[in-house]
Amino acid sequence: MCKVGYTGEGKKCEDVDECDNDFNGGCVHECFNIPGNYRCTCYDGFMLAHDGHNCLDTDECMFNNGGCQHVCVNTVGSYECRCKEGFFLSDNQHTCIHRSEEGMSCMNKDHGCAHICRETPKGGVACECRPGFELSKNQRSCILTCNHGNGGCQHTCDDADNGPICGCHPKYIMHVDGKTCLEREDASLEISEGNTTSGADVDKRVKRRLLMETCAVNNGGCDRTCKDTSTGVHCSCPVGFTLQFDGKTCKDIDECQSNNGGCDHFCKNTVGSFDCSCRKGFKLLTDEKSCQDIDECSFERTCDHTCINHPGTFECTCNKGYALYGFTHCGDINECSINNGGCQQICVNTAGDYECLCHSNYKLHWNKKDCVDTCDVRCARKKTEKRFRKTIRTLRKTVSRDHFRVRVSGVDHEVARKSFKLSEPQESCGVGEMHVGNRCDQCSPGEYSPDGFKPCLPCPPGTYQPEAGRVSCFPCGGGLTTRYGSASLFQDCETKVQCSPGHFYNTTTHRCIRCVVGTYQPEFGQNYCISCPGNTTTDFDGSTNITQCKNRQCGGELGDYTGYIESPNYPGDYPANAECTWNINPPPKRRILIVVPEIFLPIEDECGDYLVMRKSSSSNSVTTYETCQTYERPIAFTSRSKKLWIQFKSNEGNSAKGFQVPYVTYDEDYQELIEDIVRDGRLYASENHQEILKDKKLIKALFDVLAHPQNYFKYTAQESREMFPRSFIRLLRSKVSRFLRPYK
């Protein structure tokens, strides 16, 4: 005998094509034959019902508002975005653009186009329809076809002059709405068997009923696969379903209940299947189950200096002399802004470092911060003679010269009593250092060494010293004293009030003063504010953290073929009252494609912060994109004009991460193909597809091929399969094939 799903005498079995019949295998949309079985699938905008045959509408508006900026309206097999009063829908069919009241152009609310408005070279307007619609005879309205959301039909769709005509599968009847289908209530098969109740009669009755069942009638009552056998019909279910106790019904298997469906991270059950997804910072591999850490450090421009990758995240660090701001950027630290860099006299800041200098008649001490007196030859001679006379007097008073040692360094020398204990040779100590054991140690913080030859002394009351190896201590100032001797911090000075972060103590007025714009102070009780690193500044005075230091320069690289725009200080929060302007002017016969992976603008700010893309700076010019909200769902769209003027503005209100938006220019001969791809809802249907549009490496590869099609041959078929999920490749392949078909 042959297995279920095959036919033959047993020695040779052939697969039964369950889809090759008038019932289409019982599938209301598409039926795919597989060895020994078959599977039903649904058109875009539908999902498979639990019976594995019927197709139900997917409510796209339930997920992130369908990606619509304003209003999402679900329809059978599709959805559409609508705009609030005073706005109209842009070409990407998701975002809304403010209407203009002036002039007859596509920006005017009375242009009359149902879908897409194009401005003609002569100054008029021409209407176009979205994919899946046809322009009506009035050249304004758009007629739905079966190519869009199955024409709004749940089962079958046929195009007619006035729009789609819907039909139902034989097992269903049409609903009064003319679009959806209802399952027929089949009458139960009843066989009158009299009043006998013997066991033999019951067995005969059951056997007779089984023999009367056949797959030719109502698919034998089977949900999915039906096979006639000597004992009656035999029902089976496709992969992803399990046969219930009634022997007829197929129930979806929740694969996520067993070993998480084999998914590394998240598992989401679907009818007849399941989907895996990954945590933030990971990407799904082409086996569509495994998750791999995204190595952000492999991207260009991730960190200014050093990037350290961690599982699911990354960390940026800066070289010595630089401070981290905006998560990824490094700015030079102005050490001179903190107590003059510790320099006794002059402090000069340099890139990544600083230098202490001295006034004339002073020289820099060995500690590179203090300044000591210098004198000419006459001065040096007098000092030398004086010290030698003192040395001679000391030597004359000794019993034996063997009890003393003399150490000379230039004009400086030292006479000291020798130790009778044998010890290892000691190194020569400089000023501000003393011997501890057999090595020279600096004076500790809170201490100083006035001449370098005596042991260190504690800082006197009213002074402090935070550094080691110094020849003096800093005064508290303003007549302040310290709580105890050997003070090492200004906080040890007894101020009249303790200043909170964002302030510094003014020793002249004995009040707390707010840190000025461009500086910050994270600690209590300090007498200084720290300058922001590099070219960054703060939005307001009284800042308390380096994270409030922001770069106001507008970033971005605008090339002829590829580039990106980004908000100031990205990925840190952008500054207040920022205004950035970019211009994209492609070479002749090239159009612009833009991908917004995600954008973060505070929605509670009443559109005080916004990003707009227009043909020119004129508010009446053709607008491609405009938003003042946060969207974590990516979107791709083509420019409505051949060049773009882009502006970002922020107010004094709340701030956010902002955006980094890549773009590519492509040959205008591919315009139809590109628009077909970016307007297809399947491009954004799954989380896996959305992650592609957020993956910098994959976007770079896609843009590389779009900008220079010959670069397609740089990538092998194997590389492509390893880069993108199978569903994404199938989507692109079908569209490219359809686009190239007229040329074959």
pLDDT at 424: 44
pLDDT less than 50: residues of the chain: 186-197, 202, 205-211, 377, 399, 408-412, 419-427, 431-433, 438, 452, 743-744
C-alpha span between 141 and 504 (Å, rounded): 68
pLDDT at 422: 39
C-alpha span between 267 and 257 (Å, rounded): 9
pLDDT at 193: 39
pLDDT at 347: 95
All structural domains of the chain: 57-182 (2.10.25.10), 255-293 (2.10.25.10), 296-332 (2.10.25), 440-494 (2.10.50), 555-743 (2.60.120.290)
Half-sphere exposure of 462 (CA within 13 A, CB side): 7
pLDDT at 186: 38
pLDDT at 431: 45
**Structure-token pair, residue 116:** 């897409």
C-alpha span between 450 and 463 (Å, rounded): 14
- For 557-570, give one letter per residue: b (16+ CB within 10 A) or e: eeeebbbbbbbbbb
pLDDT at 519: 95
pLDDT tens, residue by residue, 68-127: 888 898 888 888 888 888 787 776 777 787 766 555 567 666 677 888 877 776 667 788
What angle is formed at CA 641 by the lines to CA 635 and CA 642, rounded to 5 degrees? 105
C-alpha span between 416 and 348 (Å, rounded): 40
What phi and psi values does residue 186 have, to the nearest 5 degrees? -70, 140
pLDDT at 644: 92
C-alpha span between 265 and 257 (Å, rounded): 13
pLDDT at 221: 82
